[in-house]
Structure 1
Amino acid sequence: MSTSYGEDSPLLGGADTASIRSSSIYKPPTDDDEEGPSSPPEFGNIEDDVLPEESVLGRNIDWKSAYIIAISRVIGSGIFAVPGVILSSVGSVGLSLLVWILGAVVVACGLTVSLEYGCMLPRSGGDKVYLEFTYPWPRFFASTMIAVQAVLLGFTASNCVIFSQYVHFVFDVEARDFSKKALAVGLLTVITIIHGVWYRAGIRIQNFLGWIKVGLVVFMVLSALYVVILRPEQEDVDIRPRKIQSWDGLWDGSDWNLGTLATSLFKVFYSYAGLSNLNNVMNEVKDPVRTLKSVSLTALVTACLLYLLANLAYFAVVPIEDIKESGQLVAALFFERTFGPNIGKRFLPLAVALSAAGNVMVVTFSTARLNQEVARAGFLPFSRYLSSSKPFNAPLGGLIVHWIPSVLVIILPPSSEVYSFILEVEGYPGQIFALATSIGLIWLRYKRPDLKRPFKAWIPAVIFRIILCFSLLAAPFFPPSHPKPGGLFYATYAIVGVGILVFGVIYWLVWTIILPRLGGYRLEEKPEVLDDGTAITTQIRPAEPHNVHITDVSGREDEFTLDKNGFQFYRHVAQEKDFLDDDHIKAVYYPETEQLLKDATGASKIFIFDHTIRRNPADERGGAGTPSRRGPVNRVHIDQTYSAALSRVPHHLPAEEASELLKGRVQIINVWRPIKTVLRDPLAIAEANSVGEDELVPIPLIYPNRKGETFAVKYAEGHRWYYKYALSPEEVLFIKCFDSKTDGRARRVPHTAFVDPAAGPDVPNRESIEVRALVFHPDDRD
């Protein structure tokens, strides 16, 4: 079969450790099927991101757990703390409700963007995967910015603070700065240990706490109805529920300052943030695309309804001035006024604290996966350890990366402003990434209409989101109408957010541009598979290319044979001439190639498993829909390692037949034919016995449904290289990729395209086809 972006296209391919050149020209590696390097073999910007990928932990998240991951992230400190903060900022009930409604509309628009991306690219990592796929250039830029955002802004400090405040409130403990921060850090540490050591137990606990949170909000709404309709009496006049406020003064005291509205909207966005939480853990979700669509939309409707009703409940029970002064304790005041100083002040606020703890569990769970994806792609130090699921079969490394900045954000800012500052500094850079994904979505609709989109966002909603993103990015720099004396500068959070992103840009420039230029090297990715099965990519400096002598064999073709040298030239005129239609190639060219191999090798059975056509410039692969039309590969490689070659037999053939054939001699031979006479990027072959076994480096290739390996080749002065000038379509080159015989015959031969300095700029691109086949000699069992 022909190569495609499915089974026969690797999700990861390795960078070789040696290259060959005949002039000063050196080409970087490219993606190619089982015949060399991939550049860049990232998890986010290769075509195979459209394929689902399963975590080494398996798919353990069903619909109910997925719903909890979304809704439990949404229902946290937002509904129990943010309403009081927003009302205090905007000044009136009417404007507060308007901000919540507008925020819900914007969130819904953003959710459609996340849904289209998530269904189109169903992999863990969320925005990391989407931005890498959409913006592959400048190289490493999107990956670096996401890595900086994930590590420096991916904290979950706010709900730790709310947990601490409510616990202090419940037990009437004096809320000293140290005790509040110590309790918040303690909660985060315990949850990190639970998720890092007891993976499945952590999921069960967060599911339990998630349902408690949903039930608590429903209970709160019903309580408000109870108070408004029945108006129960309380013995303590000070906490007696008040009559519903007059709606005539709904807009009294409104602060329409753009900066104030922006900070309030950031807090609303934070409250809805968990709606796209599931996108970060897609590798662990059962039936990921269908689950993502149904869970996200269900969670959106649930959250919007509960948030609106909860705000109305607060305004119906607690006096407006008390809400403004409550800060993050508005829910505690609500319960105290509804149920009195015992149950209302003790039991129910404790439930709010547990709700905040549940939110911390969910955020920690998903953010750790995002950090693990960042580490897998090689953008964190010690990526091998941070990517691994050892020793407890859980993403402990990602949890540690999440724990460190979260602790710092809890303990460094002043306690009085830490909550609002956290929400705002998270929200501002988030708008930049929201803008990038929204613009990218529209760009992909135009640029890549071929991509399957199980869910399509409404374009006017995406445009509305883009316009609002620009507005919110400018808004913080408008001075507030009533600045707080002695507080932080009103645009501090925006400056901090921009500063973090600027740090990311500088880091990218230094790491990927300045240092490589000063050092005369180029960063490449090297894929590895850890012993727990986790596929990672490490950033390495490629080995330097080497000038070698390549001998033209013209007139001496008959001196070289498959068994002696590992390659052989053979004259053969093919019936197929154009090689434009894959089906025709399989129907006509495959059978004649099978017969050609039988005649040349004496084999009794041939199985052709793929072919590749090369018409593009060197180190370039075809676009969507033309995966088999690629360019020559200017990197030294052998198509399969010994073990990978043998694994192809049971992969392609029935088990019983494969077992019998493996008892005899097995070869893999690449039948390489020019479509037109080769004058540019000819193919060079290294004589098999000039390349030692210790010079071969196995490179893993990760496919959707199997693993493969190629050999990279270390440079050595003793390598003997050959090629034939102006090879014509009436000639084929047999390249031995593998031979099971170990009696001294050539077993494999390294090969590569190379730049011929005699080829001028007007020489057309090389056009060639290679067919790879399993060649069986079942009677040769000695």
Structure 2
Amino acid sequence: LGPTTVVCLILNRTIGSGIFVTPALVLHGMGSVGGSLLLWVFGGLISTCGLMVWLQLGLSLPLLPTGNDKMLRAVPRSGGEKNYLEFIYRKERDEPKLLVKSMYGIAFALIGNLSGNAISFGIFVMNAAGYSPAPKGPVIGLAIGILAFTVLLHMVSRRAGLFLNNVFALLKVTLLVAIIVLGFLKAGGVSLGGKPKATSNFDANESFRPGAGEVPSVTNSLVYVVYAFAGFEQPFYVLTEVRTPRKIFPRYTLRTMAFVITLFLLVNVAYFCAVPRDTPALNIQRNMAIVFFGHVFGDDNEAAKRVMAAIIAVSISGNLLVMTYTASRVKQEIAKEGILPWSLTFATSHRTPWAWWKGRHLAEDDPTLEQSPMAALVLHFFTSTLLVALTAMLEPSSAYSVLVTLYSYVINILIGFFTSLGLLYLKFKRNRNWSNPNFNPPFGWAYALVYCLACAFMLVAAFVPPSDGSPYTNAAIKLPWYVVPAIGLSVPFWGIAWYLGL
């Protein structure tokens, strides 16, 4: 994989459903336009600190005995934070404990998927077909269908999956740029048949007008923003497939993250150029992108809103495509540790049907590059559909909220907390063979400290009950507010139970 694919992995994972849906929730949670914009900036900076943590660890771990002298040297490999946690939380001069492998492995094997986005895909497809609200049965069927399609695509051809990843990334960036242009045209007074511009959102007295903004709502809003920016980890999951990662990663991942933060902030500004803060439709639909198109082209222009819903569905499918590719590789690495049933089966890659066909009919044979973890892809599909099934009793919008919050709480925040805390430990524990990391930026410890504190705040504050006017109340998500964070905190104990054979 080259720089272009690395950049597109981040873009395709980051630009999913979050930037289209989340701004409405963040606006209601923060209670003001200015507050919501500041939260997007803050969330982007937190995610950048997370990227700096991953760069410091990902390019320097694991340490393995190599060469004739059998000295410990950095041999970066795929798997992401799995490798970092195994190295950090172990006894000195001892092999990583099976307990740590089980705690991370079971958590990622079960939660490391985008089932919530698959449900969101089903919702937007039904919206594009003219159904609002979307009926539950077809949404579930479409969610399982898109999960099956992405898995089968990566099984059939690795190169086709990567090519589509790059195409989707380009299309999604183009879509966001189009939204920015439409918003700024609206602010400039250009009429496209919609409602008057909403530049009063940026007035000094209006922008920070007091609203909700209490701690639970701010915390939940930040969780959604962090989820929207979650994508910087993707190249680290497939690091061994990247050409010269020590040169490519620091340069291109940081630039891509800066580009995404700028793009998301401008998209939010564009939304608020057209959609007033107190728009009633945001309370009903809570889908900023579709409400935005309604204000730009007119609420009676159903065709424009349905086209936007279809475009968002396509965007989400690209999001699922990249996560299927990277997460299946992580699950393959987990299987290599021997903690899953039939570990050898899940750990083995096989030549793709497309590679077999080319080798037979076109005299092209490249078995090394055209292999896919077939069984790990099946495992990914099974765990993804399992989460869809477990939330099937909820309304689709509530199921989306639950699964997105659970993923963000466990994969982004809980694992992010222990990973950044571990880097701080390595920085100040001089006898852990960490004196010469391959990526050692100035004040490297500060990035880990900021990310660790931010994750700790979100872990704890999620247990503070929201007020009645919050978009995160029991009535809004159809579940008690403490259920999702409680399940999230219990996930590491699933690994302990697995380790103990319970």
> In terms of mean alpha carbon deviation, does 490-499 or 256-265 score higher?
256-265
Report what 1:261 is aligned to. 218
* 1:381 alignment partner in structure 2: 341
Distance 1:69 1:92 in 2: 33
Q: Aligned pair 1:333/2:333, yes or no?
A: no
**Counterpart code for 2:256:** A
Name the structure 2 match of 1:165: 123
Give the alignment's Cα RMSD to 1 decimal: 2.0
What is the aligned partner in structure 2 of residue 399 from structure 1? 377
Rounded to whole Å, the distance in 1 between the matches of 2:440 and 2:145 is 41
Letter in 2 for 1:203: L
| Secondary structure class of the residue paired with 1:461 | helix
Q: Give the conservation status (yes or no) of the 8 Å contact 1:90–1:255.
A: yes
Give the match for residue 417 of structure 2. 435
In 1, distance between residues paired with 2:451 and 2:397? 32
- Decide whether aligned partners of structure 1 residues 328 and 167 sit closer, same or farther in structure 2, where only a CA change above 3 A counts: farther
**Cα distance in structure 2, aligned partners of 1:317 and 1:298:** 29
Aligned to 1:714: none
Instruction: Spell out, residue by residue over 1:603-651, the C-alpha distance to the aligned partner (whole angstroms, 9 max, x if none).
Output: xxxxxxxxxxxxxxxxxxxxxxxxxxxxxxxxxxxxxxxxxxxxxxxxx
2:495 to 485, 494, 504: 504
The aligned amino acid for 2:40 is W
Say whether residues 1:485 and 2:467 are aligned partners.
Answer: no
C-alpha distance in 2, partners of 1:274/1:268?
12
> Using the alignment, how far apart are the partners of 1:146 and 1:484 within structure 2?
30
Residue number in structure 2 paired with 1:593 = none
Contact 1:192–1:399, Cα closer than 8 Å, also in 2: yes
Flag structure 1 segments of 5+ consecutive residues without an equivalent: 1-60, 512-782
Deviations 1:217-261 (A, max 9, x none): 111101111111133151xxxx42433234322233532322222
| Correspondences of 1:637-676 after superposition (within 5 Å) | none
1:462 deviates by 1.8
8 Å CA contact retained: 2:423, 2:445:
no
How far does the alpha carbon of each residue in 1:705-759 deviate from its partner, in whole angstroms, 9 at most, with x for none?
Answer: xxxxxxxxxxxxxxxxxxxxxxxxxxxxxxxxxxxxxxxxxxxxxxxxxxxxxxx
Partner Cα distance (1:256, 1:347) in 2: 33
Over the matched positions of the two proteins, sequence identity in percent amounts to 28
- Secondary structure of the structure 2 residue equivalent to 1:120: coil
Q: 1:143–1:204: structure 2 CA closer, same or farther, 3 Å change rule?
A: same
8 Å Cα contact 2:192-2:296 kept in structure 1: no
Aligned equivalent of 2:401, options 420, 441, 458: 420
Q: Which amino acid aligns with 2:421?
A: I
- 2:137 is matched with 178
| In 2: Cα distance, 1:210 partner to 1:326 partner | 30
Counterpart residue identity of residue 89, structure 2: Y
| 1:68 counterpart = 2:8 | yes
Q: Structure 1 CA distance, aligned partners of 2:434 and 2:327?
A: 31
Name the CA distance, whole Å, in 2 between partners of 1:182 and 1:453: 46
Question: Quick check: 1:460 aligned with 2:446?
Answer: yes
Instruction: Work out the CA distance in 1 between the residues paired with 2:474 and 2:210.
Output: 16
Post-superposition shift, 1:326?
5.2
- Is 2:203 aligned against 1:245? no
Task: For 1:87 and 1:404, locate their aligned partners in 2 and report how far apart those are by CA, in whole Å.
Answer: 35
Matched-pair contact (CA < 8 Å) for 2:104–2:492: no
1:149 aligned partner, one-letter code: A
Among candidates 204, 212, 225, match of residue 171 of structure 2: 212
Q: Which has the larger radius of gyration?
A: 1
What is the CA–CA distance in structure 2 between the aligned matches of 1:485 and 1:449, rounded to whole Å?
49
One-letter identity of the residue aligned with 2:233: S
The C-alpha deviation readout for 1:150-205, integer Å capped at 9, x for no partner, is 11110111222222222222220352110111111111111110011211111111
Matches of 1:480 and 1:438 in 2, distance apart? 28
Write the distance in 1 (CA, Å) between the matches of 2:497 and 2:210: 44
User: What amino acid is aligned across from residue 258 of structure 1 in structure 2?
Assistant: V
Letter in 1 for 2:404: L
TM-score by length of 1: 0.55
Cα distance in 2 for partners of 1:408, 1:77 equals 21
Letter of the aligned partner of 2:328 in structure 1? A
Closer, same or farther in 2 for the Cα pair 1:272/1:326, shift >3 Å? Answer: farther
1:111 aligns with 2:54: no
- Within 5 Å, give how 1:624-639 maps onto structure 2: none
Partners of 2:174 and 2:408 lie apart in 1 by: 28
Q: Please tell me the residue identity of whatever aligns with 1:454.
A: F
Structure 1, residues 424-472: CA drift from partner, whole Å, max 9, x if none? 1112223232122112212222333433323436322322222222221
TM-score (norm 2): 0.84
Q: For residues 412 and 114 of structure 1, what CA distance do their matches in structure 2 show?
A: 32
What amino acid is the match of 1:116?
Q
| 1:340-384 CA distance string (max 9 Å, x none) | 526622433322211111011011111111011001111211111
2:245 to 288, 297, 303: 288
The total of aligned residue pairs comes to 447
After superposition, the C-alpha distances for 1:567-621 in whole angstroms (9 at most, x for unaligned) are: xxxxxxxxxxxxxxxxxxxxxxxxxxxxxxxxxxxxxxxxxxxxxxxxxxxxxxx
What is the correspondence of 1:431-580 to structure 2 with a 5 Å cutoff?
431-445=413-427, 446-447=429-430, 448-456=433-441, 458-482=444-468, 483-485=473-475, 487-510=478-501
Could you say what secondary structure the match of 2:152 adopts? helix
Aligned twin of 2:41: 101
Please tell me whether the aligned partners of residues 335 and 349 of structure 1 are also in contact (alpha carbons under 8 angstroms).
Answer: no
- Residues 117 and 404 of structure 2 are in contact (CA less than 8 Å); yes or no, is this contact kept in structure 1? no
Which residue matches 2:150?
191
Distance 2:463 2:213 in 1: 15
Structure 1 CA distance for aligned equivalents of residues 197 and 474 of structure 2:
30
Q: 1:88 aligns with which of 12, 18, 28?
A: 28
Amino acid at match of 1:368: S
Secondary structure in structure 2 of the residue aligned to 1:320: coil
Question: 1:75, CA displacement in angstroms?
Answer: 0.9
Q: Distance in 1 between matches of 2:237 and 2:51?
A: 14
Match of 2:108 in 1: 150
1:78 aligned residue: 18
SS at match of 1:275: coil
Q: Separation in 2 of the partners of 1:202 and 1:261?
A: 37
Rounded Cα–Cα distance in structure 2 between residues aligned with 1:449 and 1:406? 37
Query: Residue 123 of structure 1 contacts residue 283 of structure 1 at CA under 8 Å; is this kept in 2?
Result: yes
Letter in 1 for 2:44: A
| Matches of 1:346 and 1:428, distance apart in 2 | 32
Deviation at 1:327, TM superposition (A): 4.2
Measured after TM superposition, the shift of residue 473 of structure 1 is: 1.5
Q: Which has the higher strand share?
A: 1
Q: Distance in 1 between matches of 2:13 and 2:306?
A: 24
Asked if 1:229 corresponds to 2:188, the answer is: yes
Contact map agreement 1:438 1:462 (CA 8 A) in 2:
yes
Q: Which residue of 2 aligns with 1:303?
A: 260
Q: Which has the higher contact order (CA 8 A, sep 6+)?
A: 2
Residue pairs, 1:2-21, within 5 angstroms: none
Partner Cα distance (1:485, 1:162) in 2: 20
